[in-house]
Amino acid sequence: MKTSLFSRQQLLAGSFLIITALLASCSNSGGYGNGDTTPTNYTVSATLNGGAEVPSNATTGTGTLTGTYNPSTYKLTYTLNWTGLTGVAHMMHFHGPAIAGQSAGVEVAITGFSSVAAGSYSGSATFTASQGSDLTGGKMYVNIHTAGYPDGEIRGQLSATK
């Protein structure tokens, strides 16, 4: 039995429409579970003190970091506050990968802050994909250095939550 050209065209067109409809109805959650392909930002925080340094020290200096990390751009936007240092802050860095109680090398330097014993600085840092994984995995810390504590006077382990 011969199939007419019209029937073949109808069959192909119908198949195309069905496949298109099926593909359009599929949820592309992108791994984020809500149908949105945009990654959810992380809230980042740290409490800095001398007890968190390796080795720990007896400074009365303290600090806090609060911020937001965007995993699609690898950018951390943050505010860092510090007070009671034994001298002026002369270096600040993000270090990793290291869990609390471990030391690691500098990953990203913080620049542009005021060299004062108590202050506040708002800035941003762009990480690599690997560094971003360290940040969200709790393997990064922030350190403030002074002349009296050249290896770091206060330190805080970064915590990232969605």
* Fold entry, domain 42-161: Immunoglobulin-like (2.60.40)
Alpha-carbon torsion (37, 68, 114, 95), positive or negative: negative
What does the pLDDT read at residue 10?
A: 61
What does the pLDDT read at residue 18?
A: 58
| pLDDT by position in tens, the chain (length 162) | 555 555 666 655 555 555 545 445 544 444 444 555 667 999 999 999 999 999 999 999 999 999 999 999 999 999 999 999 999 999 999 999 999 999 999 999 999 999 999 999 999 999 999 999 999 999 999 999 999 999 999 999 999 999
Q: Which two tokens stand for residue 75?
A: 């950018």
Q: d(Cα 138, Cα 158) in Å, to the nearest integer?
A: 6
Where does residue 99 rank: exposed (0-12), middle (13-18), buried (19+ CB within 10 A)? middle
What does the pLDDT read at residue 48?
A: 99
- The residues facing 29 across adjacent strands are none
What does the pLDDT read at residue 103?
A: 97
Q: Report the predicted TM-score, pTM, of the whole model to 2 decimal places.
A: 0.77
Q: d(Cα 97, Cα 69) in Å, to the nearest integer?
A: 17
DSSP codes of every residue in 55-82: S------EEEEEEEEETTTTEEEEEEEE
Phi, psi of 123 (to 5 degrees): -160, -165
